[in-house]
Amino acid sequence: MSAVVPLDAEKLRRRALDIAGEVPDPEIPVLSIADLGVLRDARVTADGAVEVDITPTYSGCPAMDMIALQVEAALAAADLPKPKVRTVLSPAWTTDWMSEAGREKLRRYGIAPPTPRAGRRALFGLDEDVPCPRCGSGETQKLSEFGSTACKALWRCTACREPFDYFKCL
Amino acid sequence: MTSITVAETPLLRAVLARADDALVHAHRLSEWVGHAPMLEEDLALGNVALDLLGQARSLYTHAAAIEGLERSEDDLAYLRDAPQFRNLLLLEQPNGDFANTIVRLFLHAAFMLPWWKAAMSSTDATLAAIAAKAEKEAAYHVRHAGEWLIRLGDGTEESHRRSTEALDRLWRFTGEMFAIDAEEEPLIEAGVIPHPAIIRPAWDATVAHVLAEATLARPRDGWMQLGGRRGTHTEALGHLLAVMQHLQRAYPGASW
């Protein structure tokens, strides 16, 4: 018996957002795609299908296909009608969309969160101040602008001597 | 698998040209994976390649939509032959040594950062959306390649010599970035793609700044080799495509 309760479109849309928002990021599973700001919107189309919009962090983010698949599966498991995922590029994702809760989860996970509203720093020279996510010390150094994934840089703490990932500002 | 030929309109050619730039450069950079001088650089070049590959995918998807023949991004990447590729000659040049790869990346990224910035206000909404993402990525590419070039130029006698040689070898291909194809003029006038002349001052400034820090001399502008945008490529592209396209040509439609 799969008679769909006649929710109105707005309720259905909110439910789709709630369910999709729970899907974890495949590369940083401590964050949901809602925390990351990757989940952008949802709507109920004229033919009654539920459509969810996601946006990539970086153009070449290899996690996008996986995220789309997981969102579709989660919506289908919740019996939402004809779930579909759309990838949108505009407006371009920015680290400013990451939620406060997301930043805190990231730090506890051992990844330094992006500095909010850091803006574009000078093309050459100036480095950001990135506190160590483990001991909180400001005595840190950048090892490489490019880390284990497109969205992270590699840093180290000279106080506790631990290397750590820094979620790059974009 | 038989090759495909694209019936190019000026718009389709312009989008394909930037897609081919990104794909060919991404492929070259990915050849370093497992071979870079150190682990961090292996990751960095792989990450830059991934950014470019992502840009290429968005651009090919846009090109396929413009073409309207239900071809996929993969068809455009894997089933066209070398004379159909529209990429800049600079980007197909073999990697050579690390200095050569860094100089090639620097010269092109310093051009693409202001190009994408200008393309963010393109009258083509899809191109503007792709540009808004790519511009942020290009900023990292310029900085990374620029910092390396400073380290190499202002490094040892050996690294200085190799950087100088790379600049001299690749400089003849930089003119193509600023050349205008007569077919592109209406697109520039319609605000679809930026006029390369407005990119020039930013490129000149970035190049001047980094070369000065790197204690490297800017080569003189002499003969500039063109042809890539028209499909007249150097020998290097055929070899690159043979590797890149082999699987799809031998096993059409193969997927993971």
Q: Read off the pLDDT of each residue in A1-24 and give the average, rounded to a whole number.
A: 80
- The confidence score (pLDDT) of residue A118 equals 52
Helix (H) / strand (E) element for B250: namely helix B235-250
Query: pLDDT confidence of B198, banded at 50, 70, 90?
Result: very high
Structure tokens at A34: 């809602």
For residue B88, the one-letter residue type is: L
Q: Which of A91, A93, A150 is nearest residue B47 as measured by Cβ atoms?
A: A150
DSSP B63-104: HHHHHTS---HHHHHHSS-GGG----HHHHS---SHHHHHHH
Confidence of residue B72 (pLDDT cuts 50, 70, 90): very high
pLDDT of residue B172: 98
The answer to whether B208 faces chain A, any CB pair under 8 Å, is no
What does the block give as tokens for A158? 């000279």
Looking only at the bridges linking them, the beta strands covering A140-144 and A152-157 are antiparallel
Do B144 and A146 lie within an 8 Å CB cutoff?
Answer: yes
What average pLDDT does this structure show over B117-146? 96
Of B41, B132, B139, which has the smallest distance from its Cβ to A120's Cβ? B139
If one counts every other C-beta atom within 10 angstroms of the C-beta of residue B238, the result is 14
From chain A, pick out residues whose CB is under 8 angstroms from the CB of B128. 90
Question: Average pLDDT of chain B?
Answer: 96
Residue B43: both structure tokens together: 């990751």
Judge: B43–A154 Cβ closer than 8 Å, yes or no: yes
For B135-192, the pLDDT digits (tens) are: 999 999 999 999 999 999 999 999 999 999 999 999 999 999 999 988 899 999 999 9
CA B193 to chain centroid, in Å, comes to: 16
Q: What pLDDT score was predicted for residue B64?
A: 97
Chain A residues 87-116 with a CB less than 8 Å from chain B: 88-93
Q: Does A143 touch chain B (CB under 8 A)?
A: yes
Q: Is the pLDDT of residue A83 over 60?
A: yes
Q: Are the C-beta atoms of B110 and B143 separated by less than 8 Å?
A: no
Residues of A in contact with B53 (CB under 8 A): 60
Give the CA angle between residues B127, B132, B137 to the nearest 5°.
Answer: 115
CATH superfamily of B10-250: Ferritin, core subunit, four-helix bundle (1.20.1260.10)
Residue A117, pLDDT score: 53
Contact B167, B216 (CB under 8 A): yes
A67 band by pLDDT with thresholds 50, 70 and 90: very high
Tell whether the model's pLDDT for residue A107 goes beyond 50.
yes
Q: How far apart are CA A16 and CA A41, in angstroms?
A: 9
* pLDDT for the residue numbered A6: 53
pLDDT for res A88: 92
3-state secondary structure of A152: strand
Residues B39, A142, A95, A90: is their CA dihedral positive or negative?
negative
User: CA-based angle B16:B244:B66, to the nearest 5?
Assistant: 20
Cβ of residue A120 closer than 8 Å to a chain B Cβ? yes
Are the Cβ atoms of B144 and A145 closer than 8 angstroms?
Answer: yes
Question: Cα angle at B43 between B42 and B46, to 5 degrees?
Answer: 85
Which three-class secondary structure state does DSSP give residue B176?
helix
Look at residue A1 in the predicted model and tell me its pLDDT.
44
Q: Which domains does chain A have, with CATH numbers?
A: 9-93 (3.30.300.130), 98-167 (no CATH)
Domain residue ranges in chain B: 10-250
pLDDT digits (tens, 9 = 90+) for B95-117: 999 999 999 999 999 999 999 99
The interface predicted TM-score (ipTM) is: 0.80
State what percent of residues in chain B have pLDDT above 70: 100
Q: Comparing C-alpha atoms, which of B39, B10, B23 is closest to residue B186? A: B10
- Tokens standing for B88? 């800049």
